[in-house]
Amino acid sequence: MNCLNERNAILKINIPVMINKNLIIGLFSLLLFNSCFAQQSATSSTNILIEKRIDNLMRKMSLTEKIGQMYQSNYSNEDLAHIQQLIRQGKIGALLSPMDLVKVTALQKIAVEESPNHIPLLFGADVIHGLRTVFPIPLAQAASWNPGLVEQAARVAAEETSSFGVNWNYSPMVDIARDPRWGRIAEGFGEDPYLTGIMGVAMVKGYQGSDLTKATSIAACGKHFVGYGAAEGGRDYNTTYIPENELKNTYLRPFYALKQAGICSYMSAFNDLNGVPSTANPFTLRQILRDEWNFDGLVVSDQHSVLGLINHGIAADPAEAASKAIKAGLNIEMGSTSFLDFAHQLVKEGKISEKDIDESVRDILRIKFRMGLFEKPYKGTDTKVELLSNYNKEVALKLSEQSIVMLKNDKNLLPLSDSIKSIAIIGPYGNNPNEMDGCWTSHGRVEDVQAVLPAFQNMPGLNVAIRYAKGVDNCTSTDTSLFKEALEAAGKSDVILFFGGEHSEQTGENNSRAFLRLPGVQEQLLKALAKTGKPIVLTVFSGRPLVLENVLPDVTSVLYAWHTGIMGGPALANIIFGKVSPSGKLPVTFPKAEGQIPLYYNHKPSNQPPKKELGNYSDYRTTYNDFSNTPAFPFGFGLSYARFEYSDIKLSSQQLHFSDTLLVNAVVSNKSTYEGEEVAQLYLHNKVSSITRPVKELKAFQRIFLKPGESKPVQFKLSYNDFAFYDLNNQFTVEPGAFSLWVGPNSVDGLRTDFVIGK
């Protein structure tokens, strides 16, 4: 229990009214101080004990065994005998897990019983959005704006993952991504550092739990450190140029949030940053991570990225690559063997020191001790975890529902009314369980996925005739031979439900796209269906924002489902037929055309503000000669069946001191006959400062439930860290001056007020 929870617990104590008020305050303060002091003392004592254990262990370790701790091997059946021998020799510290409890336990047994100093192994895996219970992709989870629910999903993932013996997970990814052409945008939480940090911390809490030593807790790994999402042209693995000031104000912020949440590890990125590859970047790995942040966990390379230093052109051979990565502060090499093969020789030649090795190994052992692996090395052997339990599926369903964003709903077509007697389900996702999970789902099973067609057919109480026609064989198909069947089904139905998008293999790592329109002949099919005159509900499955301008005029309603995980079918059925009101909000800006990219809400003001078109997207940015500069849909946008209104914005003060807390109050009202959940968002702008600041920055949000006709107050608290930024001297500071503040439903609309921070 942390100090805040202690405080909340104390506040619940019933104190007799007759007790003196000052005495109550004094007793409360004493209790709170003693509680926090005791907690800090216990943590300090534990850390001291761990450091002593590290000292004792390292005095026993040979240089060979120390270097072995810095190597993570890939597991394969063909290499099994060789891997077992390396473990016995103390030459492996971690493994990419085989996801098999029997095999993992057997390998761990060799490490703790037969290796020179009985050091347990780390078993790592990529469980990005669920193991057997596959949740929506992380970008979709960000669209829920519900960190509590994201934490629940991560806890489910940790429990299922630990049951296979795995104790380390390469998630969350908190790369800021402002270019939807980049395939790995699907794996992160979008374009905003605040939202990304909140969601990343939620995942860390879910994975690591309240106690790292518990049987179902697994170590989290924040990736990719750092700037990977800013790859030029949205091309994966590509170069990034980010000035230090921008790096600290934007790209590092979510990583720092993970550090503050107690994350065990980070993964370095594939990209080079300002000319220095992230895998061997002493500025990020040593100066920032160790010296400025005091991070004392471990850093692992991405797969084979140490050898990638040769491709980058900063190392002539594997030995030089190993030398540069170790000196930069990388602890573990994943996959490739340059540390294992050359570190001993490099020490002997004086190109690196044994102190460099010792520093790295201390960081690795520290995490192993904190995880309790020396006492309980075998995950999954003493607990029973039910994979794909009813509870797990319920969490997946709720997260899918809250991740779906309604972008358009002309004539209030949705939810479908009782007057609708027949629907045509058309499109490559109409009955396609193979693609709904999205990228990074190697441990999921197709038979677990509840696809659209059966979900609609099995919906209780649904009295609607359903006609199904693919219309197109798959997302990328250019064959139009199935159009006729689709048009016939549409002609006999009251409403067309088109389920399309991009397939899962078009997203994720090494899946960048230059053009973001619906692939194949889907647009052509939609236009043919529009000629029937029947209303069309377009549901898009995707791992990124797609450009929908060509088809938006042809459809009545649009639901953006992302890649939904195993419960996507029931989630969509519940929304389309009104059992659940849409509540998702976009975590990333949707462009009208690829030529607008990068397009993001929190950009800097320009020298010549153009004519106003849409809120902050055009107030401060020059326009194109041949195209609009406004987005198709702005960051934070999302419609509901309910109609929400904002009113009565008030500040606790409009003249603040640096140390003051600002209370922001507003009222949100439901002016409809539908119940629903709204995400109230607060944005801030520093109007005059020593460096240019974003035209708006998300600083807080709340998800609230409102019944028809109900109004609720929302309150936000802003303090020093919310007003502060890194200045030209890279000092984190608050500058006096004028600020604007908005509370509203997205990054464009909302109530505005102003205040001043004085010296």
**Annotated active-site residue in 302, 356, 363, 448:** 302
* CB crowding 478-489: b at 16 or more within 10 Å, else e: eeeebbeebbeb
Tell me how crowded residue 79 is: count the other CB atoms within 10 A of its CB: 12
Place of tokens 């509540």: 583
Q: Which of 191, 222, 215, 205 is nearest to 150 (CA)?
A: 205
Distance from C-alpha of 650 to C-alpha of 753, rounded to nearest angstrom: 8
Exposed (0-12), middle (13-18) or buried (19+): which is 74, by Cβ within 10 Å? middle
Distances 211 to 204, 255, 370, 371, 507 between C-alpha atoms, Å: 12, 21, 9, 8, 34
Exposed (0-12), middle (13-18) or buried (19+): which is 706, by Cβ within 10 Å? buried
- Element (DSSP H or E) covering residue 30: helix 21-60
Distance from C-alpha of 379 to C-alpha of 371, rounded to nearest angstrom: 11
Helix (H, G, I), strand (E, B) or coil at 34: helix
Tell me how crowded residue 628 is: count the other CB atoms within 10 A of its CB: 16
Tell me how crowded residue 345 is: count the other CB atoms within 10 A of its CB: 13
Encoded tokens for 442? 């190697």
Distances 463 to 394, 419, 456 between C-alpha atoms, Å: 24, 10, 10
Query: Considering Cα of 550, then 551, then 557, then 562, what sign does the dihedral take?
Result: negative
| Interior angle at CA 630, CA 543 and CA 613, nearest 5 | 155
Beta bridge partners of 426: 469, 498
Distance from C-alpha of 217 to C-alpha of 157, rounded to nearest angstrom: 10
Encoded tokens for 419? 């007057």
Contact call for residues 511 and 470 (beta carbons, < 8 A): no
Beta bridge partners of 744: 681
Distance from C-alpha of 718 to C-alpha of 661, rounded to nearest angstrom: 6
Active site residue 473: no
Place of tokens 């006999």: 492
Distances 89 to 61, 63, 368, 504 between C-alpha atoms, Å: 12, 12, 19, 41
Contacts for 490 with CB less than 8 Å, ≥ 6 apart: 424, 426, 469, 496, 529, 532, 534
Cβ contacts of 39-45, under 8 Å, gap ≥ 24: 39/1, 39/2, 39/3, 39/6
The length of the chain, given as a count of residues: 759
Distance from C-alpha of 612 to C-alpha of 733, rounded to nearest angstrom: 32
Distance from C-alpha of 135 to C-alpha of 154, rounded to nearest angstrom: 9
| Interior angle at CA 79, CA 73 and CA 83, nearest 5 | 50
Catalytic residues: 302
